[in-house]
A and B are shown apart, each in its own frame.
Chain A
Amino acid sequence: MTRFILGNIGRFVLLMVAVAVLTFTLVSLSPVDPVQANVGQAALLGMSEEKRAALEAYWGVGTPMHERFFSWAADFLHGDWGTSLRYNMPVADVVASRALNSLALMGVAWLVSGVLGFALGVAAALRQGSLLDRFVKGYCFVLAASPTFWVGLLLLMVFSVWLGWFPLGFSVPVGKSAADVTFLDALHHMALPAITLSLVGVANIALHTREKAIDVMGSPYFRFARARGLTTGQAMARHGLRNLALPALTLQFSQIAEIFGGSVLVEEVFSYPGLGQAAVTAGLGGDVALLAAIALVSAALVFAGNLTANLLYGLVDPRMRRSRGGGER
């Protein structure tokens, strides 16, 4: 057990270091000139030499990468995440406010795609070859092959522009003071991005679940359950679902990374002020501190997801439980 915990801590630290180094390296190697990117082409041309030098010093243009990295890492370990040069605010504040929006959006999409995908997958497997199965398969193939941002644009066109059911973007109504924003407003603004993410996520989960369910239905224990008088549906409810739970959990928690990736695009399309959008801004503006913080937070989130899947596995599967406990065999 101690070994399990220490192993996971070690892996977590390694992951964090790797992500931080990678982020810094990539930003340093990128041809983006932070001063130009943040001040603008025209302003840059009309700027005095001294002003430009001051700005370059402010953005740390001349400082070698490793120096910047170590000073950032030392501060980070002390709890100082630095200041976002782009937003002119402490990075921690930017991340916190953005993460709230993003987590709500991703949480909804994650739950909806997981539950709906699982249900559709099982239903399709139970009626293999039927109209329902064909519809589910067709839907999944089309959506799995569609880029998330394109689906988002399509929904935006249909439901916001033509039908006017949903707002065009942002997380709150434009021109309304923060104090007047209701929960319903926030929900209304979140709906379309969340639907986009869910629609795309469902495809993956439903196809995987369908495949696994067909495997389970061909297994000896499923056949024996039917031979003992259960109908296919009863056997699925009694034996199928609990055996499907294991792969579904793994998939669901590894899906966090997918949803995260999708949310970056969706937030851009819907101008939704979440982590994904901030990451794009930080990347394009050479805002290393913010980008590194977002990368670390998202990596930690994905890591936590996979770890949860691992732990749940042990809870659900008695074979894992005994072998991890190191007890009798």
Chain B
Amino acid sequence: MEEKKLAASQGQSNTAPHEHVDHGAQPVHHHHSHAQDSRHAHGHHLLTVEDLTVSFRMYDEGEPYFRAAQRDVEVLHGLSISVHEGEMVAVVGASGSGKTLLADAVLGLFEPNAIVRGRIWFDGEPMTAATLAAERGRGIALVPQSVASLDPLMRVGRQVEGEPQGRGAVRRADAARRRERRRQLFARYGLDESVAQLYPHELSGGMARRVLLCCALMGAPKLIVADEPTPGLDLDLAVRALADLRAFADEGGGVMLITHDIELALSVADRVAVFRDGTVVEETAVANFAAPELLAHPFSRQLWHALPEHDFSAGSSSVGAGGYSDSLRQSLLGETAHWAVSVAAELARSEHPPATTAPPDLKGGDFPC
């Protein structure tokens, strides 16, 4: 298929010849298994990430200031994930374990000291840092976590509409088009027109959530990356937030839902990518969480056992009925809350052998940071 040809033309062919694989029939391809309704519109995935590795160049903290050598700390390694059209994929992992870096990479947002390697296809096209940046807010949109992502000093309406492009008459026309689009979105998501005149600190939790979604939808994206959209919302609001994302997927868009809440993820997503120690250990259909035997990776099974309706056998049984709290799940995920700590642990271990052929540098030399 087109996607594979492009990959091959870049000189990588570490999987079986893709042309002979019938996506629908094959239970596992591209490191993932499918849900019932995973579709390959136009014969490719909406988003494919392969062998994504993100590391940071930083100074050795243990060394005296002037002697500290630079070294690279790898935070994501060999991560692969795919999103089909019309599908919601939940990336489930502990808070602060580096999932947001995956969102950053898909959006082409890299810190100046980040080294990003891997292959990303969007809508069948191989992407570079520049093309990813060009899709930002257009083909790929972010739904951020909280109202803190809105400029506190700008009225909500203007922020949702975004910056009009062009000059003179073109600019005025674009501004009018944006206002119209914003009105439609507000109407669709039940936001009163007066909300446009409010400042972010005046929004209620539910309003803020819908405003953030409207921001993402302004550019009519094909893929939405939702980075922890539910914390801080009560259950009712969280369910509605996910229902809105679900509706977007059902209309043919793709959603990558980054979350630490596996129950909410299972209730709404098509597939789950289990994230641990900076990589996706298993990418599987939600249906496979029906029984532990259907899950391939031991960590996924641990996660299954940690679910409240199951037997808690993997967890500490002393926690009791309320034990499906975040903290238990996090302790089960075996992750510490701060990625820097997991970075240190990562250095102590070296169980991730370097790839035989290094994936290409995604950032390239000219990435404008």
A176 touches B (CB below 8 Å): no
User: How many positions in chain A have a CB within 8 Å of any CB in the partner chain?
Assistant: 26
CB distance from B365 to the nearest CB of A (A): 16
A188 touches B (CB below 8 Å): no
B180 touches A (CB below 8 Å): no
The answer to whether A224 and B199 touch (CB under 8 A), given A243-B151, A243-B153, A319-B152, is no
Looking at the complex, which one of A219, A231, A238, A319 makes contact with B201 (CB distance below 8 Å)?
Answer: A319
CA distance A229 to B130 in the complex (A): 12
Dominant secondary structure at the A interface: helix
Residue of A128, A220, A316 most packed against chain B (CB within 10 A): A220
CA distance A225 to B369 in the complex (A): 14
CA distance A319 to B203 in the complex (A): 12
The answer to whether A129 and B112 touch (CB under 8 A), given A225-B151, A228-B137, A242-B154, is yes
Interface string of A284-318 (1 = CB under 8 A from B): 00000000000000000000000000000000111
A238 touches B163 (CB 8 A): yes
A316 touches B146 (CB 8 A): no
Task: Report A-chain residues with C-beta under 8 Å of the C-beta of B144.
Answer: 220, 223-224, 227
CA distance A238 to B164 in the complex (A): 11
A230 touches B (CB below 8 Å): yes
A228 touches B151 (CB 8 A): no
Task: Report A-chain residues with C-beta under 8 Å of the C-beta of B141.
Answer: 227-228
Looking at the complex, which one of B112, B138, B152, B154 makes contact with A229 (CB distance below 8 Å)?
Answer: B138
CB distance from A208 to the nearest CB of B (A): 19
CB distance from A245 to the nearest CB of B (A): 8
CB distance from A86 to the nearest CB of B (A): 51
The answer to whether A318 and B199 touch (CB under 8 A), given A229-B219, A239-B151, is yes
The answer to whether A229 and B151 touch (CB under 8 A), given A129-B112, A220-B144, is no
Looking at the complex, which one of A219, A230, A242 makes contact with B163 (CB distance below 8 Å)?
Answer: A230
CA distance A223 to B141 in the complex (A): 12
Which A-chain residue is minimally distant from B138 (CB atoms)? A229
Residue of B112, B149, B154 most packed against chain A (CB within 10 A): B149
Dominant secondary structure at the B interface: loop
Number of residue pairs A-B, CB distance < 8 angstroms? 72
B215 touches A (CB below 8 Å): yes
A224 touches B142 (CB 8 A): yes
CB distance from B119 to the nearest CB of A (A): 21
Looking at the complex, which one of A226, A227, A229, A242 makes contact with B153 (CB distance below 8 Å)?
Answer: A242
Interface string of A228-253 (1 = CB under 8 A from B): 11111010001100110000000000
B151 touches A242 (CB 8 A): yes
Task: Report B-chain residues with C-beta under 8 Å of the C-beta of A316.
Answer: 153
B96 touches A (CB below 8 Å): no
20 contacts between A and B (CB under 8 A): A129-B112, A219-B148, A223-B144, A224-B215, A225-B151, A226-B109, A226-B136, A227-B136, A227-B137, A227-B142, A228-B141, A228-B162, A229-B162, A232-B369, A238-B163, A242-B151, A243-B153, A318-B152, A318-B153, A318-B201
A-B complex: 7 closest residue pairs judged by Cβ atoms: A229-B137, A228-B137, A224-B149, A227-B142, A220-B148, A318-B199, A220-B149
Interface of B with A (CB < 8 Å)?
107, 109, 112, 136-138, 141-142, 144-146, 148-154, 162-163, 199, 201-202, 215, 218-219, 368-369
Interface of A with B (CB < 8 Å)?
128-129, 219-221, 223-232, 234, 238-239, 242-243, 316-319, 322, 328
